[in-house]
Structure 1
Amino acid sequence: MTAENVLTRVVTTSTPAHAHPAWRRWLLTREAAIIALLLVVVLVALSSVRNFGSPLTLTYLLRDIAPILLIALPMTLIIVTEEIDLSVASVLGLSSVITGVLTAAGLPFPLAALAAVVAGALCGVVNGFLVTVVGLPSLAVTIGTLALFRGIAVGLLGTTAITDFPEFWTDLAKASIPGTPIPAIMIPFVVLAIVFAVLLHATPFGRALYAIGLNKEAAHFSGIDVARSKFTLFVLSGAVSGFAGVYFTLLYSNARGDNATGLELQVIAAVLLGGVSIFGGRGALHGVIAGVLLIGTLGSALRLAGVSGEVINIITGVLLVLSVVSASVLAWARSRRTAAIGRRRLRAARSSADLQT
């Protein structure tokens, strides 16, 4: 089999089977199931949870999940390639500290924010170098850099916090789109979501990412620069995490080394819940966005209903486990079905050959 044929098979299996009708490709998917579940949760919450339908609830909900929505975009692409980045929350915390320290030193806020985003990208360079050049597993690398970046952030500020930021920028972070309860941060998120969606679903680079996730050796022999593709994703993850850190700092008017501790677990949970396979090669951004909204909406409704944070964490964990288990079950069922089809075709071919002889 030629390299081109290998790539064709890999890319074909990474996306929906285009032999099926369009309605089946869109409706009979895990992403559609998550969207449907999100709608059910919203309807139930509207009918049974007091004040859930108020504009203020929507505003606070979208503000709170905005960092998760942002970081989930590059995280989706990374997990599609069968890698992972556990350092994103630490990068967010470090960029928050850098924003605060530089602002307190008198640097104009836009320059401080730009420096924080660049610092995030450099953190991604470190991760990407260790994974793609040194050849270390991304899980081990990003567990290490999770502690490293968090340690640097805490070391820069200690137990203190910087809370004095230009009022114009803090007001902007908390502002809503005029005439709506939708926070202004949704504008850059939508722009980034479109960019990442086009990159993943409508470019050769995106198809290459699916191919890498399914079989990186086959992708390599098909001419795909696996190392450069993964390196690019880690840099993007760092930069977006840095931007999320700037927003997080302004939203809460607080730069601390422990900002967003544990956020990486929420991001990964949302990505997996949204239909991205932890084994790589499968996933779609619209499912991930629905997964983030589902977790955020469920948490908001339960808090308004008086449910404790511990119970909410348990429910989120159960959803994550179910999503991973269901993905494995579906993959097993799909492989069994494919094998059965192959056996039927082989029997049909043998019968045809027997008739000809």
Structure 2
Amino acid sequence: MTSPRTYSDFSQPLWRRVLLTREMAVIVLTVAVVLYSLANVPNFDGPLTVQFLLQDIAPILLIALPMTLIIITGEIDLSVASIVGLSSVMLGVLHDNGLSVPVAAVLALLLGAACGALNGFLIAYVGLPSLAVTIGTLALFRGIAVGLLGTKAVTEFTERWTDLATDTLGSSNIPVVMVPFVVLAIGFSLLLHFSTFGRGVYDIGLNDEAAHFTGVNVARTKWILFVLSGVVSAFAGVYYTLRFGSARGDNATGMELQVIAAVLLGGVSIFGGRGRLHGVIAGVVLIGVIASALRLEGVTVNVTNIIIGLLLIASVISTPLLSWVATRLPRKAPPSEEPTTPKQATPAGV
């Protein structure tokens, strides 16, 4: 008799499952771009490059965390940059009317949660498509932000808080904002990859109806994700405002496209059901490094956007390409089964 076959008899080797992924490809490409920039781009190895690079990508890193989970469920949130702008205006208006920065920031976070709750309610419970809903709230939130301040800007913020937004950890060039980002990144990683909630997120992305019948509360899960997106976007808006010392209704205009581009570049499927946070973080860093290196080379923003757009298209094409390569690679053959019929006894004397 043969031993029963197990899952490992049919699975791919570990090195293939680790190395032949979009996440690993993005990480390798990011390292290669960094090394090339250090060797060939003037002043890229300067002492302030890391600080300015991390400060520039910090809002995108923050918003990309909940956006990853939302896109894995098969939804999308295009209103995140407008929530950044609205929370920025809220912080400025409240502080300008006598509230301290911490109190105004907390109220801005609550406003972000309310914006996310509105998106989540319309999408998860009313059943409207997320693309249409968040395009509408993108315009709504941005219109409210611009309407509150018009062409004016609030620039009188407590110096202690603006210095904190641009400060670094000790004598290093690591901005202080990386501390809350690391905390949030660990929290979202545990939520997505090591919890039943995260398994429900993947199930929804693969088939939300099947997820419902397996016990996943689809509506509640989506609503929670949009609320988290609103809160984190508002936090990014508070940081954005204090870093530049200016609250304006048009702050972070167009940032939603950078966030979505980084998430998709990091290996998350736009169709849902697939993606990992470490790939998304690498995607954000890759876009930031490319933009920083091209800026030091004197390349215009338009050319930078073209290059990043082409990179994003290539990353989307890589998904079917990697799948095609994986299907062509030889797999471990399952053990052959021996015949189960008993052998006939040999006649005596033969």
Cα deviation, 1:184-235, whole Å, max 9, x if unaligned, reads: 0000000000000010000111011111101111111111101100000000
Does residue 1:220 correspond to 2:205, yes or no? no
What displacement does 1:54 show? 1.2
Counterparts of 2:131 and 2:97 in 1: how far apart (Å)?
A: 36
Q: Distance in 2 between matches of 1:251 and 1:75?
A: 23
Cα deviations across residues 298-319 of structure 1 (Å, max 9, x unaligned)?
A: 1100110111111000001101
Q: Partners in 1 of 2:14 and 2:193 — Cα distance? A: 16
Deviations 1:134-171 (A, max 9, x none): 10000000000000000000010001000010000000
Larger Rg belongs to: 2
**Which structure 2 residues correspond to residues 110-129 of structure 1 after superposition, within 5 A?**
110-129=102-121
**Which amino acid in the other structure matches residue 204 of structure 2?**
I
Are the structure 2 counterparts of residues 293 and 76 from structure 1 closer, same or farther at C-alpha, using a change threshold of 3 Å? same
CA contact (8 A) 1:18 1:25 kept: no
- Establish whether residue 84 from structure 1 lines up as the match of residue 76 from structure 2: yes
CA distance in structure 1 between the aligned counterparts of 2:234 and 2:149, rounded to whole angstroms? 17
Q: Distance in 1 between matches of 2:128 and 2:324?
A: 29
What SS does the aligned partner of 2:270 have? coil
* Residue in 2 that maps onto 1:37: 29
Please report the TM-score for the alignment, with normalisation by the length of structure 2.
0.90
2:55 corresponding residue in structure 1: 63
Q: Which amino acid aligns with 2:199?
A: R
Q: Structure 1-normalised TM-score?
A: 0.88
Report whether the alignment pairs 1:198 with 2:190: yes
Q: What SS is found at the alignment partner of 1:33?
A: helix
1:287 aligns with 2:279: yes
The answer to whether the Cα contact below 8 Å between 1:131 and 1:141 also exists between their aligned partners in 2 is yes
Partner of 1:177 in structure 2? 169
SS in 2 for 1:32: helix
1:286 partner amino acid: H
2:295 aligns with 303
Flag the structure with higher helix content.
Answer: 1
C-alpha separation between the residues in 1 aligned to 2:112 and 2:258? 19
How many angstroms apart in 2 are the aligned matches of 1:136 and 1:124? 15
Q: Is the 8 A contact 2:268 2:276 kept in 1?
A: yes
Match of 2:179 in 1: 187
Instruction: Report matched runs for 1:227-242 at 5 Å.
Output: 227-242=219-234
| Cα distance in 2 between the residues matched to 1:210 and 1:333 | 24
Match of 1:9 in 2: none
- Asked if structure 1 preserves the Cα contact closer than 8 Å seen for 2:22 and 2:318, the reply is no
Residue 329 of structure 1 and its aligned partner are, at CA, apart by: 3.6
Q: Does 1:261 align with 2:249?
A: no
Deviation at 1:68, TM superposition (A): 0.1
Q: Is the 8 A contact 1:89 1:262 kept in 2?
A: yes
Residue 321 (structure 1) shift: 1.0
Pick closer, same or farther for the CA change 1:18–1:304 going to 2, 3 Å: farther
**What is the correspondence of 1:109-188 to structure 2 with a 5 Å cutoff?**
109-188=101-180
Identity %: 64
* Aligned counterparts of 2:324 and 2:77: Cα–Cα separation in 1: 26
Q: Is the 8 A contact 1:277 1:283 kept in 2?
A: yes
1:74 matched to 2:66? The reply is yes
Is the Cα contact below 8 Å between 1:96 and 1:248 reproduced in 2?
A: yes
How far off is 1:331 after superposition? 4.6
> Residues 96 and 249 of structure 1 are in contact (CA less than 8 Å); yes or no, is this contact kept in structure 2?
yes
Residues 18 and 106 of structure 1: CA distance in aligned 2, closer, same or farther (over 3 Å):
farther
In the TM superposition, what is the alpha-carbon distance from 1:333 to its structure 2 partner?
6.1
Q: Secondary structure at the match of 1:102?
A: helix
1:318 aligns with 2:310: yes
Corresponding residue number in structure 2 for 1:4: none
CA RMSD of aligned residues (A): 2.4
Look up the SS of the partner of 1:145 in the other structure: helix
Q: Determine the C-alpha separation between the residues in 1 that align with 2:244 and 2:73.
A: 34
For residues 233 and 291 of structure 2, the distance between their equivalents in structure 1, rounded to whole angstroms, comes to: 22
Secondary structure of 2:48's match?
helix
Instruction: Give the deviation of 1:22 after TM superposition.
Output: 3.5
Q: Counterparts of 1:56 and 1:160 in 2: how far apart (Å)? A: 31
Distance (whole Å) between structure 2 residues aligned to residue 18 and residue 243 of structure 1: 46
Work out the number of aligned pairs and report it.
333
| Structure 2: unaligned runs, 5 residues or longer | 1-6, 341-350
- Which residue does 2:39 correspond to in 1? 47
2:89 is equivalent to residue 97 of structure 1: yes
SS at match of 1:55: coil
